[in-house]
Structure 1
Amino acid sequence: MDSHFFYVYYDGETYYHELHGLSYQGSNQKQKCVKVKRGIGLMNLQRRILNAMGLDHSRHNISIVYRAPQRVVDTQVFYNSLQLSGATEVKMMWEVVEQMVARGFIGSDLYVTVEPIVVEAGEGSQHAVLDGTVDEHIDSIPLQYYQGWAENTGDGDDFEELLDTMGEHEDVDHIEDVVVEENRDTCPGPDPTPEWFTKNTWDNMFDPSPVMQAEVASWTPGEQPMKGMVFATKLAVRHALTWYAVRENFSYKTEHSDSERLMVSCEDDSCPWSIRAICCKGDNVWKIAKCKGPHTCDKIQNAHDGRMIDSAFLAYVLERYIREDPAYKIKNLRHVALADLKHEVSHYKVWDAKQKAVAAIYGDFKESYAELPCFLAGLKDACPGTKYKLLVDDHYERGTCTFKAIFWAFRPCIVGFKHCRPVISIDATHLYGKYKGKLMIAMAIDANNKIYPLAFAVVESESTETWGWFLACIRRYVTGRSKLCVISDRHPGIQAVFRDTNRDFLQTPMTEHRYCLRHVCSNVNSRWNNETLKNLVWRAASATQERKFNATFGLIENVNRDAHKYLEDVPKEKWALAFDEGFRYGAMTTNVSECFNGVLKGARSLPITAMVKYTWFKLNTYFDDRRNKSIAQLKSGKRWCNYAFDIFMRNKAKAEHHRVTRLSAQQQSYQVDTPHNPGTAGHGDHTYGVNLLQRTCTCQKWKLYKIPCSHVIAVCIQFRHDAEQYIDECYSMNALFRSYAPVFPALKDRLSWPDPKETRKVIPNPRLIREKGRPVSTRIRNEMDEGGKRPRTTPWKEGGRKVQCGLCDQEGHNRRTCPKRNEASVKMVDVELRGSAHRIKKCACDLLSIGGNLVDDDDSWDLMGNYLRLKSTFLYCDFNRMISSAPRDQKKPLTELANKLFCSIETLINLYIFALVVYTPTSLDVFTLAVNGFY
């Protein structure tokens, strides 16, 4: 009999999806895969599922819902629910499975709800079966957050632990359950039921023993762990201990930890608090066997520095935030940790926790490279027409290869691009993950002048080789359109690629290369740092007529001859609109690529396979949104997109004031004169020639933007032509809808993915591992950004200093782990206290130097504000930080020393306010004495 795969989902809830019917969701949902023989009964199926989930069938019961296909429309399947409550429903399920297997399905979904079996002693029972239950939510922290714990030796076993850890006897044979189907035709029936079988004999029964409760309790976050509490794993025990320590603000240490027991105690040796948990092998659970206490030690004073929180626990707390947005900044996560845990956690600890959470959610960075070929093969199988190209280098280890580059473009983008303008913008941006690299992006522009994602690539760096390969993949896999315009910055690698005459596909007339105007202006400003010069370059490049360009270009020569010569060496058609011949369609910058870089900001910190998945789902959402909007606009009767129609209407308003003279009716040639307009730069009063047959106007706007200019519209108005017919079809609502009409299909289950072409294991290049240091997570803004000024930014930082101790100035550890912490802390705290005191004294002396003008001089109030800010900073920052870093036995004297300093501060404040309000020589003398005697 053939086998069948069941994908078991649990720890979530069912819901009905609009397109797919019955579905499953939940932030903590889990999945298991179970392989069974077709036709298996309900009881055996339940046992197989419980075994896969690691649960004891004598302690747990499960209810199963089969996700039954109801109808198939094209590639969409609508599912309904089938509750497996007996043999009839199971038989129906297998009949449906047989039909779906014939259609190509190899697996089915089961949604499982776990119910613990609880048998309590009561008045109506002869025997009390005492059994414990373990709540499912106790499973807490996933295993991947913890890499291991220190193994130490500890005390011997107690008799109670010995009983709990003993499993079943090794000499006893275990007999598997056998399900025998009943045959009513061949088996003789039983005798009639005797009357005493059903006679009431229980009314007077009672249990002479006292009612007993099972010594098993569930744990809730923040609750104090107590004897008898049961946990699913040792990690769950640690999770509970950390939650309790966080709430009570104390630290504990591990005395012993192995596969059978865990012993922890208070960090203060004089405190009797300790907990011992053991593994009950027979039940496969962990139970707290001993709990001594309570705490007799002092709490960690006012410090809430999160010293009891490790990165693994913090990763569990922050997981839901990182799952929502992997681009969550570390400083924001620190605020989240402070709000949730009431502890201020260090930057590095949050960073480390984020890396663990990302690995737990999206997979390990290194293993993600190995998964990439399989995912790409499954992606192409689910969406035929999707293109990808994986480049690898041979590796010395047999059966492996080193990742070099990956290119991918989805079929909906490729098909829809045929209805967009033949203009693409290319750009590259940094990756933020464990491995360095560059993400290359090719973006198009849709009919409404919005971004249209086209293709992506991940390479090691920007170079002539990588840019040439990326553009070759676009030409081969994405578009073969002639007269394609490529807009980019002036990166040396890009320029070298387009200068290479051996690359025929990048030469005229197949491809036209244009520069981004923003980068041209930025280059000029970086060389000569002249705001006027930069604005003149922008004005010259944006001019649509050669006459206007020459006039502005002459002004550039007057301002700076070197800049004028620099621009003369750059071919004008690459940066000036007046010489473009209409290839740009009016697009002057690579803003569309840079905008989408911001959209992918979070994805750039993910493992590589997760990043490809992110682009798939992000583009699916984007296409679905644009498709729905375009359909609504088409139904409303719109013919043209808002972008083109708004330009058309503005030109139509100006056309009302033009004068039109027909030169030839046969050739449809006209002369258009504009009125005098002192409000414009050229003051109006110009003459233009329009030819409707050749679709030209001497202002060139029609040719450059493919939208009728005001002169063409004036001719159409006077001679009753439909001016809208001259708008290019690329701006129509029909083109917009067709560009987003292709649909992203649903991905298949990973068990259905075909074998990839690259059978070797792909590994990352070890040379690309990011060095220590914090890289910039935001594009470096320059003078071309809004605001006009270059803000202060941190350069890209790939390297950084090693961790250096703040106590002994040695590298390799910090002040919390410093071996000289105890002997240096008192000296360090005293020095810093005196430093803060001297800073306050200096500010007070500045106040004193104001003299008799305390009340009327505004500067005195500013100094007073600075003084109060220093005092506030000292109170809430220096004090908590320095006192918390001192040894426990020295906290009290240091606190007393700080309190004396606070009294001095308060005295200075009161005296200063008195001197301000009631200025007398006596008050000033008192204030002077207080300052001189301060500390």
Structure 2
Amino acid sequence: MSAVLAEVPYVANREFVVRMEFSSRKAVIKAMKEYTLRRSVDYRVYESEPLTFYVKCTQYRSARDWLIRVSMISRKYCWVIRRYNDNHTCTRATMSQDHSKLNSNTIAEAIKLLVEVDLSLKVKSVIAEVQSKFNYTVSYRKAWLAKQKLVEKIFGGWEASYEALPIWFEAMCHKEPSAIVHFETMPAYQGDDLVIDIRYGNNNIVPIAFAIVEEETSDAWLFFLSNLSQHVVTRDGVKLISDRHESINTAVERSNGAWSPPRAFHMFCIRHIESNFFRKFKAPYLQKLVVNIGYLRTVREYEVRYQRLRERGEAYTNWLDRIPREQYALAFDDGYRWGHMTTNLVEYINSVLKGARNLPVTALVKAIFYRLNELFTRKRAEAEARINASYVFSEHVTSKIHANQLASGNI
């Protein structure tokens, strides 16, 4: 029988054969895992030495049951199957829903192409892919670990990424002197173990400043808003549109007037108010009325719709009255909203940065920098194209008018 040498070799009937050769010990183990997953069986390691790898079926009961022994042949620089019994008396019924050999490393290899295409791939999608490929349903934790390992393999470890971040920022600021980077570090503990906690600037309405924080807290928002007011907001009358999250309200109150009139005007997204209203009253037939009240531009129109809501129940208007009118209604905003009623603009930036939040921190910052750079370059080209097209059209119209005037003898 001729020998076969490959990373994970198989013969036509997808079985092992004696004298089959493998390029490495790793290739041997990979082939065994794939075989047992495909056959819905499992094995137990009986001998694992530097030069020998010997396993048997977990249901091994006699010399006739499945076993395989592979040894390293030094003179050939390969691993060779020296003994093999292909008889499996166990059946799939002996297997559990999951498989012990279907570990996170195997899963990571199986989903590699999917994650490279879409870093925001959901864990449930990983589970579905494993089910499709191996016919096993793995646990949520195993699928999550597989994705984390793959992201780390592609983009580097999470702690190493934190260590590399200051170096990358230094290089970025060297190339772009107008860029501003602010770090705040502090010791953080989980039990007795010190963990990393680095915070710096978050995407809001427009992609001017970003902050990466541990969670949405008043301290995190104060950090972001303080830096935004110091480095970006340079004039009075700026509007801040947000949801009604208590952490944002608290940060605004703690900002020493930096985000209060006349310096800034804090207003609420009408879609978030609509969502809060529905969560409170479960009255979908009134949601549109609440939104319309916010969009009305005159006090008279506002009062008509407000009264209509009140007629449906005083509880509805009592709830709405707890929100200052200037924070949600165009009729009372003195023009500071410039017609913007929602934070929907942020969704566009989220689409540009899709999947980036799943990356280790330095890869995340790089993704934000490069993707926005590409976005700005593309938008600039589109704007210049529109300007040029407008100029050509204007020249054409002017020439046509001039020609008509000549024909009519007016000039």
Is this a same-fold pair by TM over 0.5?
yes
1:549 paired to 2:296 = no
C-alpha distance in 1, partners of 2:233/2:299? Answer: 32
Contact 1:331–1:347 under 8 Å retained in 2: no
Name the SS of the counterpart of 1:323 in structure 2. Answer: helix
Deviation at 1:238, TM superposition (A): 0.7
With over 3 angstroms needed to count, the CA separation of the structure-2 counterparts of 1:281 and 1:542, relative to structure 1, is same
Distance 1:371 1:555, change over 3 A: same
* Residue from 186, 189, 205 that aligns with 1:443: 205
SS of match in other structure, 2:197 = strand
Q: 2:52 aligns with which of 251, 261, 264?
A: 261
Q: Cα gap change, 1:232/1:634 in structure 2, threshold over 3 Å: closer, same or farther?
A: farther
* Cα distance between partner residues in 1 of 2:208 and 2:374: 15
Answer whether contact 1:225 1:241 (CA < 8 A) is retained. no
SS at match of 2:181: strand
Instruction: Give, in angstroms, the shift of residue 542 of structure 1.
Output: 0.9
Q: Which runs of 5+ in 2 are unaligned?
A: 393-411
Query: Which residue number corresponds to residue 230 of structure 2?
Result: 476
Once residues 629 and 590 of structure 1 are traced to their aligned partners in structure 2, the CA distance between those partners, rounded to angstroms, is: 24
AA at the equivalent of 1:457? A
Q: Deviations over 1:514-555 (max 9, x none)?
A: 111122233334444444554333222211112212222233
Residue in 2 that maps onto 1:291: 83
Q: Deviations over 1:724-747 (max 9, x none)?
A: xxxxxxxxxxxxxxxxxxxxxxxx
**8 Å Cα contact 1:221-1:243 kept in structure 2:** no
TM-score, normalised with respect to structure 2: 0.79
Give, in whole Å, the separation in 2 of the partners of 1:321 and 1:258: 36
2:337 to 584, 588, 609: 584
Residues in 2 aligned to 1:549 and 1:287: alpha-carbon distance in whole angstroms = 81
CA distance in 2, matches of 1:234, 1:616: 42
Match for residue 246 of structure 1 among 20, 37, 51: 37
Question: CA RMSD, aligned part only?
Answer: 3.4
1:217 is matched with: 5
| Contact 1:391-1:403 at 8 Å conserved across structures | no
Q: Deviations over 1:322-373 (max 9, x none)?
A: 12212222333333334434x2232344333223222322333344333333
Secondary structure (helix, strand or coil) at the match of 1:458 reads: coil
Shift of residue 282 of structure 1?
7.4
* Aligned-partner SS, 1:378: helix
Q: Which residue of 2 aligns with 1:237?
A: 28
Match of 1:499 in 2: 253
Which residue does the alignment assign to 1:346? Answer: 138
SS at match of 2:45: strand
Cα distance 1:477–1:275, how it changes in 2: closer, same or farther (>3 A)? farther
How far apart, CA to CA, are the structure 2 residues paired with 1:234 and 1:312?
Answer: 16
Cα pair 2:203 2:210 within 8 Å, conserved:
yes
Over residues 150-185 of structure 1, what are the superposed CA-to-partner deviations in whole Å (9 max), with x where a residue is unaligned? xxxxxxxxxxxxxxxxxxxxxxxxxxxxxxxxxxxx
Tell whether the 8 Å contact from 1:246 to 1:306 is kept in structure 2 after alignment. no
Aligned-pair CA distance for 1:486 = 0.9
Contact 1:263 1:276 in 2 (8 A): yes
Matching residue of 1:520: 273
Deviation at 1:319, TM superposition (A): 1.4
CA change 1:503–1:230 in 2 (3 A) is: farther
Kept after mapping to 1: 8 A contact 2:7/2:27 = no
State which drifts further: 263-272 or 468-477.
263-272
Offset from partner CA, 1:215-254 (integer Å, 9 cap, x none): 5622446544445555454222211222233344432221
Distance 2:337 2:112 in 1: 45
Question: Do the aligned partners of residues 300 and 489 (structure 1) sit closer, same or farther apart at CA in structure 2, a change above 3 Å counting?
Answer: closer
- What is the letter of the counterpart of residue 442 of structure 1? N
1:128 matched residue in structure 2: none
What are the equivalent positions in structure 2 for 1:40-59 lying under 5 Å apart? none
Amino acid at match of 1:218: A
Deviates more, 1:454-463 or 1:591-600: 591-600
Inter-partner Cα distance in structure 1 for 2:241 and 2:17: 67
The structure whose residues are more often helix, as a share, is 2
Deviation at residue 574 of structure 1 after TM alignment = 1.6
Deviations 1:539-584 (A, max 9, x none): 2221111221222223333333344344445332221101222221
SS in 2 for 1:496: helix
What pairs up with 1:644-723 in 2 under 5 angstroms?
Answer: none
CA distance in structure 2 between the aligned counterparts of 1:314 and 1:222, rounded to whole angstroms: 21
Q: Which has the higher contact order (CA 8 A, sep 6+)?
A: 2
SS at match of 1:387: coil
In structure 1, the gaps of 5 or more residues are 1-212, 409-439, 445-452, 640-935
Return closer, same or farther for 1:225/1:378 CA change in 2, 3 Å cut-off: farther
**Aligned counterparts of 2:10 and 2:391: Cα–Cα separation in 1:** 59
Matched residue type, 1:469? F
The alpha carbon displacement at 1:265 in A equals 2.5
Number of residue pairs aligned between Structure 1 and Structure 2: 382
CA distance in 1, matches of 2:161, 2:274: 41
Counterpart position of 1:363: 156
SS of residue matched to 1:589: coil
Q: Which residue of 1 aligns with 2:215?
A: 461
Whole-Å separation in 2 of the counterparts to 1:302 and 1:333:
25
Question: Does the CA-based 8 Å contact 1:264-1:275 persist in structure 2?
Answer: yes
Contact 2:8 2:22 in 1 (8 A): no
Q: Comparing both structures, which one devotes a greater share of its residues to strand?
A: 1
Question: What SS is found at the alignment partner of 1:388?
Answer: coil
